[in-house]
């Protein structure tokens, strides 16, 4: 039986066919039920704690996390996803929010990027690993805000094989990133 995972990572290799995935599957990653509630709750707590008002969310998918952020904080993130299908569906579900098609590699092209307080990577780390060095360089050059929030789910033994050459734990991730990370 075909799985939405097969369009993202399969047999330890990045596939990256996200738009096809959203065309074939109604709710990949069970986004409607907020599958990573713990990490997302902590992110929302930090948005409140640090008074973050201007967020760019990369990897917004169907928009459920953006809606949750809005309901909990009153902040409407600028929510970006690489899949036009996901963005179309997010706009239909949550017309009061701000969604657009884009790629994290094009962050330097964003309007008003100097006004952004926070970049939020919404469970996309596994899918940007191959470009992470380039992304970090672009963040260091283009991002003037104070906060980078990464909803990072660590490897489960025997399950996640892709990306082990980068890091296998949160501690290794923190060491890898060129930023001071706040928990």
What residue spans define the domains of the chain? 35-176
Q: What are 77-97's pLDDT values in tens digits?
A: 999 999 999 999 999 999 999
Query: What kind and span of H or E run contains 9?
Result: strand 9-10
Q: Are 79 and 57 in contact (CB under 8 A)?
A: yes
Q: What is the pLDDT of residue 94?
A: 98
**Is residue 108 packed enough to be buried (19+ CB in 10 Å), middle (13-18) or exposed (0-12)?**
exposed
CA distances from 165 to 6, 19, 130, 162, 176 (A): 21, 27, 10, 8, 11
Q: What is the pLDDT of residue 163?
A: 74
Mean pLDDT of the region 8-33: 93
Q: Between 98 and 179, where is the model more confident? A: 98
Q: What is the pLDDT of residue 89?
A: 98
Q: What is the pLDDT of residue 85?
A: 98
Q: From CA 61, how far away is CA 156, in angstroms rounded?
A: 23
Identify the CA nearest to 66 among candidates 52, 76, 81, 80.
76
Mean pLDDT of the region 15-40: 91
35-176: which CATH architecture?
A: 3-Layer(aba) Sandwich (3.40)
Q: Between 175 and 106, where is the model more confident? A: 106
């Amino acid at each position: 039986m075909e799985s939405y995972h097969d369009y993202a990572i399969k047999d330890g290799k990045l596939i990256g066919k996200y738009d096809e995935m959203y065309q074939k599957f109604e709710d990949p990653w069970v986004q409607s039920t907020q599958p990573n509630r713990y990490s997302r709750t902590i992110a929302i707590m930090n948005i409140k704690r640090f008074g973050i008002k201007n967020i760019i969310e990369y990897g917004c998918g169907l928009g459920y996390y953006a809606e949750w952020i809005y309901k909990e904080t009153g902040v409407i993130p600028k929510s970006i996803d690489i899949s036009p299908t996901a963005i179309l569906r997010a706009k239909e579900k949550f017309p009061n929010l701000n969604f657009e098609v884009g790629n994290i590699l094009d962050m330097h092209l964003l309007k008003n990027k100097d006004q952004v307080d926070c970049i939020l990577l919404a469970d996309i780390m596994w899918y940007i690993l191959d470009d992470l060095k380039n992304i970090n360089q672009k963040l260091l050059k283009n991002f003037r805000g104070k906060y980078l929030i990464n909803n990072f789910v660590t490897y489960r033994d025997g399950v996640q094989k892709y990306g082990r050459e980068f890091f296998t734990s949160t501690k290794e991730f923190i060491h890898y990133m060129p930023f001071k990370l706040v928990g």
